Copies of this chain bind each other. A is one copy, B any other.
């Protein structure tokens, strides 16, 4: 959880170029049968060769044992203390579906739920209704008007949606309406600060109208709201690190996170191949690129060990294209582990390699959890990655006389 206070005094702009490849869910865990992790099982000739010519280590995304969501995982890699700069659930959910939030907007995560005749919750997720079922309900909610509030709702996957309040006088100090238990009624939204009193009233009027609109729906006849949050005020990557940074990511969540820290989010399409084309065609225009690879995480979340192995192997085939660009510094990192055995994000330290003209065989023979922990970087907080990249790029002055 480093937040080095003098970083702005040390950075200086140079022509050198940094590419930060974030492999979502990079780290894994040993397969119960073979004892080998996804990275150890995969055939990764290019990454292994790169590791042998780099300095390697492991990153701890937040703290030992703490499993990060995508927000903290990426914030840490961008050099922002993920505990200090915690993003709200509403904001993250909005970023995840590409809703453009403005300063002052309050976003909340919504769930459709089911309640009985007395208003007590039967299922907090309405039987996880499909997106096909929930999207029309979101459209019904769009009809809700509360005087003095610009209010929008946006469908998310399955039983989820996002509500956004836009206006000058809204605050995010509002408690959620989800009691996190069945058999009880939803809670009223309560303002936790003076400035959020009006907000809580608007939320309660929205919920009340939603109840009326959804009454009689067979599966989802009520809503729960939580994670009221606003865009945080963040120092930008550009000013913090004296960079002209660009982000290349296909998924809205990561585009949103990059935008939040002030990166120029480049137009790209769905595949990593498309992302690489974007990198190649814009390489002259920026001195820092964050490029995001998603499939490894998705396979890990599915609990599909073999699919994760294949996703890593598919990435490996693209590594030569990254190297052909001859970035001065190439960093391969992960926002967190997604061990297939967990079917979810994990807390395990994540392999890291930093390649530059200053690196040479670090004694690490392959790019894996076990091998990288023998590397020269040691096991470090993920917030150190940006500083290492800057140092290897010759963009950091000495600290202290």
> A: which residues have CB within 8 A of B?
1-2, 4-6, 10, 29-32, 35, 58, 60, 62-72, 82-83, 86-89, 92-93, 109, 227, 339, 341-342, 344-345, 347-349, 357-363, 369-370, 373-381, 384-392, 396-401
> Chain A: interface secondary structure?
loop
Instruction: Report how far A10 CA is from B68 CA in the complex, Å.
Output: 11
A-B contact pairs, 25 of them (CB 8 A): A1-B2, A4-B62, A4-B66, A4-B83, A6-B86, A30-B361, A35-B360, A62-B399, A64-B377, A64-B380, A64-B388, A65-B387, A66-B391, A66-B396, A67-B391, A68-B398, A68-B400, A71-B400, A72-B400, A82-B399, A87-B401, A92-B400, A342-B358, A344-B398, A378-B379
Question: Contact check: which of B63, B67, B347, B377 meets A2 at CB < 8 Å?
Answer: B63
Whether the Cβ atoms of B378 and A349 lie closer than 8 Å is yes
Within the assembled complex, what's the spacing in Å between the Cα atoms of A71 and B398?
A: 11
Nearest residue (CB) in B for A4 is B63
Contact B66 A387 (CB under 8 A): yes
Separation of A347 and B29 alpha carbons in the complex (Å):
31
Contact B401 A376 (CB under 8 A): no
Given A4-B63, A68-B399, A363-B370; 6 other pairs, CB 8 A cutoff: A5-B83, A62-B399, A67-B397, A67-B399, A87-B401, A347-B391
* A341 neighbours in B (Cβ, 8 Å): 358
Give the interface centre of A109, A362, A378 by most chain B CB atoms within 10 Å.
A378
CB pair A391 B227 closer than 8 Å: no
CB distance from A256 to the nearest CB of B (A): 12
* B contact residues around A375 at 8 Å (CB): 373
The minimal Cβ–Cβ distance linking A32 to chain B, given in whole angstroms, is: 7
